[in-house]
Amino acid sequence: MGKLKIAIIGCGNMGLTYAKSFIAYDLVFKDDILLIEKNAEHGKFLETLNIGKIASNIDSKLREYEIIILAVKPQDFETVAPALQKVLEPHHLVFSIMAGISIDRIEKSLRHKMIVRAMPNTPAQIGMGITAYVAGKSVKMEHIRKVEKMLSTTGREIMMEEESMLDAVTALSGSGPAYFYYFVKYMIEAGKQMGIDEGMSALLVKQTMNGAYHLMNNGNKNLDDLIASVKSKGGTTEAALNVFEEKLVGESIIIALKAAEARAKELAK
């Protein structure tokens, strides 16, 4: 497989992440990547990065590219669709990361069949993301291989058979980084309230999360065993975990993630 020709519509957080990753991993030549960005000021910033050609509008130039990434906010899709529909040709593979916009809706709005819909997350910015994706019925193996090659520059990827599962993926890994930061934030705050200065508290918490993450992935203990290895009867960890139990923190986490899933389903309507 040679180098790809990719156009990205919407170069904010995620679109820019893709452009940078594709260049960093030598997936595209700079001349073979087109960044379409409506925001003029942001477009000027993109020029300074020297990571591809920059355009402000969708036009016939798109015909030269084989993969078109849709990375605008979901609410902007209906403005993008009419212009995109005019320049799409049957060979184009449209790769959408817009949350909650179904393959069926994209196919109908664009009058185009070759659609892959994906849900990435922000650690993609440092090659540590995870993306789940679903391919429309007309997408062939050769396209899947290109998608996987593209996504592997941002971390790991998994193909899902059922599009409806993307709502759960959105709740788990799409929104997931925010839950982690939330927990870290309050642990740091607790350290401050116990008299440790903020920088020190942040170091203690972040390195604890980092170490615990690696221990979880590199050892052979399951999560209950790992918890038991820190907790002793009548000890400090147990005192904290008892409060989590009393305050139904575990149940709240499940309820919260189900609320995210429900919201993803609602947005898809």
Residue closer to ligand NAP (CB basis): 82 or 219: 82
- Span interacting with ligand NAP, options 6-14, 159-167, 200-208, 255-263, rule CB under 6 A: 6-14
The alpha carbon of residue 96 and the mean position of all alpha carbons in its chain are separated, in whole angstroms, by 11
Q: How far apart are CA 80 and CA 59, in angstroms?
A: 11
Among 4, 6, 68, 72, binds ligand NAP (CB under 6 A): 72
Among 155, 174, 176, 191, which residue interacts with ligand NAP (rule: CB under 6 A)? 174
Taking CB under 6 A as the rule, does residue 235 contact ligand NAP?
Answer: no
Choices 33-41, 59-67, 140-148, 188-196 (CB under 6 A): range interacting with ligand NAP: 33-41
For position 76 contacting ligand NAP by CB under 6 A, the verdict is: yes
Q: Distance between CA 227 and CA 77 in Å, rounded?
A: 45
The residue from 37, 157, 167, 261 that contacts ligand NAP (CB under 6 A) is: 37
| Helices 77-87/103-110 angle, 10° precision | 50
User: What secondary structure, in 3-state letters, does 192-215 show?
Assistant: HHCCCCHHHHHHHHHHHHHHHHHH
The DSSP element (H or E) to which 88 belongs, if any, is: none
Alpha carbon 117 to chain centroid distance? Answer: 12
Find residue 39's DSSP bridge partners: none
Task: State yes or no: residue 9 binds ligand NAP (CB under 6 A).
Answer: yes
Residue in 24, 30, 31, 39 binding ligand NAP, rule: CB under 6 A: 39
Q: Which of residues 114-153 bind ligand NAP (CB under 6 A)?
A: 119-122
Interatomic CA distance for residues 230 and 215, integer angstroms: 12
Q: Does the footprint of ligand NAP cover residue 38 (CB under 6 A)?
A: yes
The span from the CA of 70 to the CA of 77, in Å, is 8
Minimum distance from residue 263 beta carbon to ligand NAP (Å): 12
**Site residues (CB under 6 A) for ligand NAP?**
9-10, 12-15, 36-39, 42, 71-74, 76, 79-80, 97-99, 119-122, 174
